[in-house]
Amino acid sequence: MKNILFLNGYTEYARDYYRFSLRFARRLGSTLHLAHIYDFRNNLDERGYDAFVRPGEFNAWLLDVQREESMELDQFVAENTGKQNMPLIGETYAYEGDVVNEVPKLLEHGDFDLVVIGLVAHSLLRDLLTRNLTQYLVDTAQCPLLLLPPRATQNLIRKICFATDLTPGTLSAINYGFDLSLRLSAEYQLLTVVKEKDAVPATQDRIDTLQQKIHGGYTSRLPYRVVVGNPEKEIRHFTRTEGTDLLMLTTRQRKRWIDQFTQTITKAIVREAAIPLLVLKEDYLDVYKV
| Contact present, 270 and 232 (Cβ < 8 Å) | no
pLDDT band with cut points at 50, 70 and 90 for residue 161: very high
Q: Which runs of E-coded beta strand occur in the chain? A: 3-8, 31-38, 89-96, 114-118, 145-148, 159-163, 187-194, 224-228, 246-251, 277-281
What is d(CA 160, CA 54) in angstroms, rounded to the nearest whole number? 36
Domains and CATH numbers, the chain: 3-148 (3.40.50.620), 159-287 (3.40.50.620)
- pLDDT beyond 90 at 245: yes
CA distance from start to end of the chain: 4
Kindly list the strands in the beta sheet with 31-38, ordered across the sheet, starting from the edge strand earlier in the chain.
89-96, 31-38, 3-8, 114-118, 145-148, 277-281, 246-251, 159-163, 187-194, 224-228
47's CB contacts (< 8 A; 6+ apart) are 9, 11, 39, 120
Task: Establish how many alpha carbons lie within 13 A of residue 11's alpha carbon, considering only the half-sphere containing its beta carbon.
Answer: 19
Q: Write down the H helix ranges in 57-199.
A: 58-80, 99-109, 124-130, 133-140, 170-184
Average pLDDT over residues 174-181: 91
Higher pLDDT among residues 98 and 206, named by residue = 206
Of these ranges, 76-90, 95-109, 167-181, the one predicted with the greatest mean pLDDT is: 167-181
pLDDT of residue 62: 58
pLDDT of residue 242: 93
State what percent of residues in the chain have pLDDT above 70: 69
**What is the overall mean pLDDT for the chain?**
76
Q: Are strands 277-281 and 145-148 parallel, antiparallel or unpaired?
A: antiparallel
What is d(CA 32, CA 163) in angstroms, rounded to the nearest whole number? 27
If one counts every other C-beta atom within 10 angstroms of the C-beta of residue 133, the result is 22
Q: pTM value? A: 0.80
- 78 by DSSP, 3-state: which? helix
